Structures are given as C-alpha cells and as structure tokens.
Amino acid sequence: MRTGIHPEMKKAKIHCGCGAVHDTLSTVEEMRVDICSSCHPFFTGEERFVDTEGRVERFNRKYANAAKTGDE
C-alpha cells in the first residue's frame, strides 16, 4: 500500500433514530442513521414495512381506480 494516501481511521459513534448507539471505526467521528440492526425488521423479526419515500402510498393512489374498475 502507498503511504500518505489513506484516510485516518477514528473511533466513531453511530446514533440511530431508535436511540441505539454503536461504536465502530470510521473516517467520520459521528454519524446519524434512521435504521440500525437493533430496530430493522429483518433483524428483529417484526412484520413492519419501512417506507421512507412514500412509494407504497404513491402506488396505491396510482392503481386505486384500476382496482375498482377492473382495468390493469
């Protein structure tokens, strides 16, 4: 590896929206995330759908009339 081109690794704290704090190494000392392994449905086993951009609602609005009339 070449010297002097790699960023310095620091101890980092990852703050999740659920309140969990994880310690790791990173080039950034502090990060804030919406979902972590403590609250993500895949890791917790909960049946919860995470839709941060409103895609489900937009799909339902778009195809709501098609379901009523039978059109596709």
Q: Which CATH number characterizes residue 19's domain? A: 4.10.80.400
Establish if 50 belongs to a structural domain.
yes
Q: Domain total for the chain?
A: 1
pLDDT score for 58: 81
Question: Given 3-state DSSP classes, what are the helix, strand and coil percentages for the chain, each rounded to the nearest 5?
Answer: 25, 25, 50
Establish if 42 belongs to a structural domain.
yes
| Cβ contact 50:35 at 8 Å | yes
| Cβ contact 9:26 at 8 Å | yes
Report how far residue 62's alpha carbon sits from residue 2's, in angstroms, rounded to the nearest whole number.
54
Report how far residue 20's alpha carbon sits from residue 27's, in angstroms, rounded to the nearest whole number.
20
pTM summary value: 0.52
Establish if 3 belongs to a structural domain.
no
Establish if 36 belongs to a structural domain.
yes
Sole residue written with tokens 């979902």? 35
Establish if 26 belongs to a structural domain.
yes
* pLDDT tens-place string over residues 12-46: 999 998 888 999 999 999 999 888 888 877 777 77
Q: Which domain holds residue 34?
A: 10-65
Establish if 19 belongs to a structural domain.
yes
Q: What's the whole-number mean pLDDT along residues 35-61?
A: 75
Establish if 60 belongs to a structural domain.
yes
